[in-house]
Amino acid sequence: MGSQQEAMRLLSLPPEIRDQIYTIILHPSNNRTFQPDDYTDYDYRDALALFRLNRQIYYEARDIFRTLNVFLRVETPWSEAEQHVNIVGHVPILMRGARAARFKGHTLQVTIETPAAGDPEQGTHQFIMLADDLPAFTKAWFYWDLSHPGLNRWLSLKLFLRDPYTPDWDEKHVRREVQRKLLLPFGDAKGLSDCNVSGDPKPQPKITAELRALQAVKPPPPEHCLAECMKLKNEGNQLLQKGEVRAALEAYNHAWEAIHIIVRGRQRHVHAEAFFARDLVDEPFAGKNGQLERMNLRLQLVANTCLAYLKLEDWEELKFWGMRTIQLMRQATGANDNPIPPEDEALLGFPSATQVGKIYYRTAKALEQLGDRDEARRLLRVAQVYLPTDPVVKKSLAGMALKIG
């Protein structure tokens, strides 16, 4: 778009049709750019060309843009906070530093402070993000608190609602649905030293009360998380048996999330280690250690994920996920640095040793298909130590010996 002729054609359409066109062009989801491992960003350069067509289109499109794109500014005492929410939380950051400090188009000011520590020596750090990404931001905060128990009791949160577009002399207004979108995700920020909600206009009392009710809800205990993971894993297994492999992988991803491990592409973000570091009290886990039970489920999920990629004949993904776990196992024996006998590499006393053997075997099949037969044979030898009576492993090892031999 760019010519007056095109602008006149657009203005010849009924207003409601023009609004639909503006909505499609300016919606955040249609300006989101996608990168590997589910990282995203925004690029509005093409969309904002709409504003340059003529004055009438500018004002019509501007109203739609402001309705769809709601911004918030976050201010924290930590420089690493922005990096954490961006890399671990997969939250796109639109502006940072001085640009963020100058920005006035935000509808919510989020200020995180550490009252007991006083004013930060290096000053505060600010960044701008979209409300569409706020749930990912608050979920990253939720996981950070689970990973560092008691962190939130040292933090205070100030949420200040504002109307960035109404003149100072006029009455301010933020729609109810926008207030809910901006405030309720902070229900994930629990156990804070203080949480102050204010603004101009003042937030609606019912929404503030709903936020505080969400903050008062305690996270489910480790036993619940482990049980939910088992349920979702079993659902994935059933789907796998039916041949619905992609659906099974989706179920496994939900199972990971149930124990606070987030899989994004080839990224796996492990949260809440300290949260699971306790003796469990509720059945069926009573008397067991939370970290060990979580580790058992992690190994089962990796083994099942490898089986799914084996069925799909996706050798690269199978190799990636299998070798990721194998390399972690090898760290315990030093086998990453120098090859050692398979009997020494196999950790038979490790939880879910059978599942580890399956990971070795299935990863070996991927390496065989990819032409790395030496490493495939090495993995098969370790798999045989883990699974000494498995005829499939014995047959595969014999076959590899013939091919190499």
pLDDT digit string, tens, across residues 140-160 = 999 999 999 989 999 999 999
Mean pLDDT of the chain: 92
Q: Look at residue 346 in the predicted model and tell me its pLDDT.
A: 87
Phi-psi region of 51 (alpha: psi -120 to 50; beta: other; left: phi over 0): alpha
pLDDT in tens, 6-27: 788 888 899 999 999 999 999 9
361 touches 379 (CB < 8 A): yes
Position 116 pLDDT exceeds 90: no
User: What average pLDDT does range 339-352 have in this prediction?
Assistant: 85
Give the integer Cα–Cα distance in Å for 329 and 302. 13
Tokens at 239, concatenated: 């789907």
Instruction: Kindly report each contact of residues 339-343 with a partner whose C-beta sits within 8 Å and lies 24 or more positions away, as own/partner.
Output: 339/378, 342/378, 342/381, 342/382, 342/384, 342/385, 343/385
Q: Look at residue 125 in the predicted model and tell me its pLDDT.
A: 92
Position 404 pLDDT exceeds 70: no
pTM over 0.95: no
Q: Look at residue 325 in the predicted model and tell me its pLDDT.
A: 93
336 or 283: which carries more pLDDT confidence?
A: 283
